[in-house]
Chains A and B, each alone.
Chain A
Amino acid sequence: MRVVAAMSGGVDSAVAAARALDAGHDVTGVHLALSRNPRSYRSGARGCCSIEDSNDARRAADALGIPFFVWDMSEEFADEVVDDFVAEYAAGRTPNPCLRCNEKIKFAAVLDRALALGFDAVATGHYAQLRTAADGTIEMHRATDHGKDQSYVLGVLTQEQLAHSLFPLGGSVKTDVRAEAAERGLQVATKPDSHDICFVADGDNAGWLAEKLGPRPGSVVDEQGTVLREHDGAYAFTIGQRRGLRLGVPADDGKPRFVLDIEPVSGTVTVGPRERLQVDALEGIRPLWCGTAPAGTLECTVQLRAHGDEHRASLTVDGDRVHVTLHDPASGIAPGQAVVVYDGTRVVGSATIARTHRREPVG
């Protein structure tokens, strides 16, 4: 196959490209330029947009002896990922831009361009496994390395997208991948893992959003509606957040308080005790299924955030909505996050959380 290896400049994608090459594919390395104004060098947070990362990717491609190009996806990324991220926060939700990027950029804009240019597939350094079922459908499963498993952020991929994807690292553990990179003489072998959101400098999410959205003052209140303090923008808060609330006076019972709810129009942030964060049902919109949509009620497990726990659940699909009843309650779940549905290790699909139901709903 003719394969585009998406190379971020990190160790995982470099080894993924090497393995695709070893598997006999005709591989072309492509680094995605996602930032309109790439920083010359990383500052603090490990991004995927710096010139240094681009150079690292080029160096790895050269070492593998494969052609290498930079594709400018900055416009698509700004429109589909960054603007969406800002709009979601402005609406009081907590989006996951990595899922969005996989859905709209890596396995959409990039894949479409690759297919149009005569390639057959896109290979990435994601940790997830693809298997072909007896009926020919492509199944996506959790990675062997559970600590690194990235099937959650890939839960947005459809059968069509999976059919043109390669995840050569899904059966490996990270330490082996690093060792392999060193063995292959790839300079990125010891490069630290990336964390944080790639387009937010230094991991300062609240500061970055404040710059984009400007001051949007509101109040922090308790469940009785008593104003505890004023704030400059509700986007600085996330449901389930405990730290940095700066409430001054302790709660009557002296127990820590958490963000329970964010009301986007008024900017009111409600805080309360931990037990009020418990969610036992949720409603999802924009479902995306890796194969056919489940019929009837599916006994499954769900994951509600990247590297989060699995929760046993029942799921029913109702057109473009899904209803999930959690058998193990979850805590601190925010609208905007993705619910990814698993049948054992197999990814069934995903949806965006629109609403959560607590044992005793707030307000």
Chain B
Amino acid sequence: MTQQQTVYLDHAATTPMVPEAIAVMTEQLARTGNASSLHAAGRAARRTVEEARELLASHLGARPSEVVFCSGGTEANNLAIKGLFWARRATDPARTRVLFSAIEHHALLDPVTWLAKHEGATVETTPVDKIGRIRLDALRQAVETDPGSVAAITTMWANNEMGTVQPVREVVELAAAHGIPVHSDAVQAAGYLPLDFGASGLDAMTITAHKLGGPVGVGALVIRREVEPVPLLHGGGQERDLRSGTIGVALIAAFAKAVEVTLARQAETTARIEALRARLVAGLTRVVPDAIVNGDPEPGAGHRLPNIAHVTFPGCEGDAMLMLLDAQGIECSTGSACAAGVPQPSHVLLAMGYDERAARGSLRFSLGHTSTEADVDRLLAVLPAVHERALAAGMVRQR
């Protein structure tokens, strides 16, 4: 087999660390010191963590005390939604409803489902439109039916499969009228859209390092001081008593550095990525005319992420195309979750009204800070042959 340069088009799964973050992390890994210790080494570690917290807060429009470090997006989402539910129900037993959008990531869907199954929560899905944006009218109706029974609302900032940006501000306004806390999973948005936690009016927001050039294994729940969710992990109470566990100094330092570097270049990077995406979409529809690009076609922070192109190839199976592209050194995703390695039809596409076959015949190409025109051109060069084969294989299965 000839070795070829791989083309990485799966930045929404995880994106390469920025060199500055690798440098900071490597330097920190060589140091000893528990940030909770009182001696000099401990104080040095603590200083690194607090400086990282301040840096991160300043870039996200938050106060340092609002940043709670944890292991990543899944933990932050669990802490937010379970913690908010338990806390609100404790102060007001009538508040048992959790409203969430149909297109949330499994890291939020599953804790919500768990609350319904084990904690007696009434969970209600907010439907989305054809481009994957939640329907505010439906959410308003759900809230106004009985506002006093809603414990929390959660809606992601931008969808991880489609890239469609959600109307977070409108959701917050709608909820604020009834004193309902709102959480947003901003994991996908953080690297590509300007986020201002304070201005957003959110009560809690999830971010994670590895989607914006930091390491895997660290993230944060940004949460207002007045909101006191019930913790998931009990122990030393290191993070505002909301999250216990020895603080990962090197991870946190690298996380903050990645945020600093990525956000400083964000306008420039996203403009470049948007142009690459345009090249990809134009080329794609030229070489495979019946391909359908899903989600919001409009660019811009209120519409969609600049880096995701989610495409349906009628008559093909996404996993067959993925395999054929992988054999050509091109790495992308079907965008949806796997069960035992088998891609499941995307719940996001199903919620958008697609049928199961279309939902299985889709791929997500996601660009990032290391993507180049050559990457896009290489994909476009191999795509016609790959598509033809996948189409043939799709016909075999429908026989």
Contacts and interface: CB of A to CB of B under 8 A. Distances in A.
Contacts of B339: 38
Contacts of A38: 339-340
Nearest to B1: A26
A106 interface: no
B40 interface: no
Contacts of B395: 116
Given A113-B396, A116-B396, A72 B324 contact: no
A179 B201 CA distance: 64
Nearest to B343: A72
A31 B323 CA distance: 13
A117 B342 contact: no
A54 B396 contact: no
A33 B389 CA distance: 22
A88 interface: no
A33 B341 contact: yes
B323 A70 contact: no
B38 interface: no
A69 interface: yes
Nearest to A112: B396
Given A67-B327, A112-B396, A117 B320 contact: yes
A74 B323 CA distance: 19
B392 interface: yes
A116 B320 CA distance: 10
A71 B338 CA distance: 12
B323 A51 contact: no
A28 B392 CA distance: 19
A72 B323 CA distance: 13
Nearest to A117: B393
Interface string B233-257: 0000000000000000000000000
Contacts of B319: 69, 71-72
B324 to A, nearest CB: 6
B393 A67 contact: no
Contacts of A28: 323, 327
> Which of B338, B390, B395, B396 has the largest number of chain A CB atoms within 10 A?
B396
B323 A69 contact: yes
Interface residues of B, number: 20
B393 A113 contact: yes
A233 to B, nearest CB: 32
A33 B338 CA distance: 12
B341 A31 contact: yes
Nearest to A74: B342
A335 B342 CA distance: 37
Contacts, number: 50
A116 B393 contact: yes
Nearest to A39: B340
Nearest to A52: B340
Contacts of A54: 340-341
A46 interface: no
B397 interface: yes
A71 B339 CA distance: 11
A116 B396 CA distance: 7
Nearest to B319: A69
Interface string B208-237: 000000000000000000000000000000
Contact of B340 (A67, A70, A109, A117): A70
Interface in A173-193: none
B326 interface: yes
Contacts of A26: 1
A118 interface: yes
Contact of B392 (A51, A74, A109, A116): A116
B389 A118 contact: yes
Given A28-B327, A69-B323, A117 B389 contact: yes
> Which of A31, A54, A72, A74 has the largest number of chain B CB atoms within 10 A?
A72
B340 A51 contact: yes
Contacts of B393: 113, 116-117
Nearest to B391: A116
A58 interface: yes
Contacts of A70: 338, 340-342
27 contacts: A26-B1, A28-B327, A33-B340, A33-B341, A38-B339, A51-B340, A67-B323, A67-B327, A69-B319, A69-B323, A69-B341, A70-B338, A70-B340, A70-B341, A70-B342, A71-B319, A72-B319, A74-B342, A113-B393, A116-B389, A116-B393, A116-B396, A117-B324, A117-B389, A117-B392, A117-B393, A118-B389
Interface of A: 26, 28, 31, 33, 38, 51, 54, 58, 67, 69-72, 74, 109, 112-113, 116-118
Given A38-B339, A113-B396, A117-B323, 13 more contacts: A31-B341, A33-B341, A69-B319, A69-B341, A70-B338, A109-B396, A109-B397, A112-B396, A113-B320, A116-B395, A116-B396, A117-B392, A118-B324
Pairs of residues from A and B, 7 with the lowest C-beta to C-beta distance, nearest first? A70-B341, A116-B393, A116-B392, A72-B342, A51-B340, A112-B396, A116-B396
